[in-house]
Amino acid sequence: MERMSTLDAGFFFVEHENVPMHLGSLALFEGPPPDHEDLIELFAAKLPLVPRYRQLVRTAPLQVFRPVWADDEHFEIGYHVRHAAVPAPGGMTQLREMAARIFAQRLDRARPLWEAWLLEGLKGGRWAILSKVHHCVVDGIGGNDLMTAVFDLAQDAERPEAAEWEPEPEPSALDLVAAGVRDTVTWPLRQLASLAGLVGQPLPARDEVLGFGRGLTASAGRLTVPSAASLNGPIGPHRRWAWATASLSEVKEIRGARGGTVNDVLLAAITRGFRDLLEARGELAEGLVVRSLVPVSTRSQDEQGVVSNRISAVLANLPVGEPDPLRRLALLRAQMDDLKRTSQAVGAEILTGMLGFAAPTLLALGSRAAFSIPQPLVQTVTTNVPGPRFPLFLLGRRMTRVYPYVPIGDQVRISVAIFSYLERFSFGITADYAAVPDVGILAKGISRGLAELGGHAAGARRG
C-alpha cells in the first residue's frame, strides 16, 4: 500500500457531485480511426509504464487516515477505454459539446480513476481521444509525462505486447487501520525530519527574508483591489467547454518586442478575454481585477515521470479594468516578477507540507470547507503546462492538436488551462453550464488579446 500525499488527499476529499476533480485533454489525430479493440490492446500493453492506472483508492472508516493506493484485483481495461461517436454533422461545435458532457461526469471512485474515449464521426474522417485522470493521481506536469508514456514518439514505433500482471491482494479493513496507525506515528516524524533538513541548510540572507515579507505585504494589498463579482457563485453539475489557440512564433514575437516571459503574454491575452466578458455583462469598471490562482510546478528535473502532485500556487490580479493592452502586459509582468522574486510560491508549498500534520479527517473537512464557502478572493484559475515540442503518435496516426481541460471548484465558475504542443498553444476554458452561457466571449477575447499584442509587436519591429 502506498499512502497519498497531503496534497493528493486534498484533491480527493474536495470532490463531490458538482465538483468532479479530474484533469483531461482532447487530442485530434489524422488518418483513419483505429479499431476500438486495437486501442484497448495498446493501452493494456502500455499500462506497466503507469502502474497507478491499475490501482484504486481505499479509505479507512470515517476517513481517519489518509487514503491509500491498492491494486485493483478486478481490473478491466475495457471499462476504462471507451468508444463513442460525435453527433452529425461532426464539426468542432458538436465535438466540444460532447466533450463537455463527458468531462462533466465524475470518475467511478470504486475503480482506477481514469478513462480514455475514442471519439469517431468527425468531419473529414478525423477522430479524437478524450482522456480523464483524477487530480489526486497527477498534476498537469505529471499528466504530460503520462501522455508521453502512453503515446509513441515515432509513426512506425513497434507495437508492444501486453505483459502478464498479477495484482497484489487488496488490503483488508484491518490492514488499512493497522497501516494507518503506523502512519499516524511515523508521518509527523518524517515531516519533522524534513524540517530538520531545512534547518540544517544555510539560513536565507537578510535581504531574502525581507523580500519574502515585502512579497506577503504586496500580496495582501492585491487582495483589497475590487474584483469581478459575477465570476463567483454556486455551480451545478454540468459544464461548458471552449477553446482558443495561438502560435508559438506569435507569442515569442510579442515577448521579444515587449519583454517579460511567455507566461506573461498568455496571461495578458486571458486578461483581455475576461475584460470582454465583463464588458458584455455590464460589469467592467476602471481599476477592476480578476483574481486568479496561478499554479506553479515545484517538480525538479529528477522528478520528471513521478506520478503525483508537485505544485504550489500564487495569487495574481488580472488587470481587466486597464484599457491599454501594453499597460496590461506591463502590470502583469511586474506582478509576476515580484511574486517570483519574493518566493511566494515556495512559501505556499511549505504551508501545504505542514498540513500533513493535520489529522486526515480534519484535512477532509477543511478541504471541503475551503471549496464550499464563498470565495470572493479568487475568481478563476489560470494554469500553463508546457507540452512536448515533438510529434506524438497513436497506432501510427499523428496527433495534430490537443486541448486541455481543468476542473472548476465550488464558487469559482471559470478556469483556464494552457497547453503547448509542437508550435501551438491551446487554451481550454471550463465553465459552469448555467452561470456562464457566454463562455464563447471569453474564448474570442483571448484570441483578440493576442492579435492586438501581436499588432503592437509588429509595429515596434517596423519602427
Question: Is residue 21 a contact partner of residue 11, using CB atoms and an 8 Å limit?
Answer: yes
Q: Which residues contact 179 (CB under 8 A, 6 or more apart)?
A: 1, 3, 65, 68, 171
Q: Convert 87-155 into a string of H (helix), E (strand) and C (coil).
A: CCCCCHHHHHHHHHHHHHCCCCCCCCCEEEEEEECCHHHCEEEEEEEECCCCCHHHHHHHHHHHCECCC
Q: Residue 353: its pLDDT value, please?
A: 44
Output phi, psi for 309, to 5 deg: -95, 125
Q: Which of 22, 83, 135, 456 is catalytic?
A: 135
Q: Among this protein's residues, is 135 annotated catalytic?
A: yes
Query: What is the mean pLDDT of each successive set of 10 residues along the chain, which is 463 residues long?
Result: 80 90 93 94 89 88 75 95 96 97 96 96 94 81 62 88 87 66 57 50 46 48 78 95 95 91 93 98 95 66 44 80 96 86 47 44 48 67 86 94 92 92 95 97 97 81 58
Q: Which residues contact 297 (CB under 8 A, 6 or more apart)?
A: 139, 140, 141, 310, 311
With CA atoms as reference, report the closest residue to 329 among 319, 339, 338.
Answer: 319
The CA distance from 68 to 399, in Å, is 35
Question: Is residue 413 a contact partner of residue 407, using CB atoms and an 8 Å limit?
Answer: no
Question: Is residue 272 a contact partner of residue 448, using CB atoms and an 8 Å limit?
Answer: yes
The CA distance from 439 to 277, in Å, is 8
The CA distance from 145 to 138, in Å, is 10
Which H or E element spans position 200? helix 173-200
Name beta bridge partners: 83: 118
Q: Residue 18: its pLDDT value, please?
A: 93
Q: Residue 385: its pLDDT value, please?
A: 83
Overall size of the chain counted in residues: 463
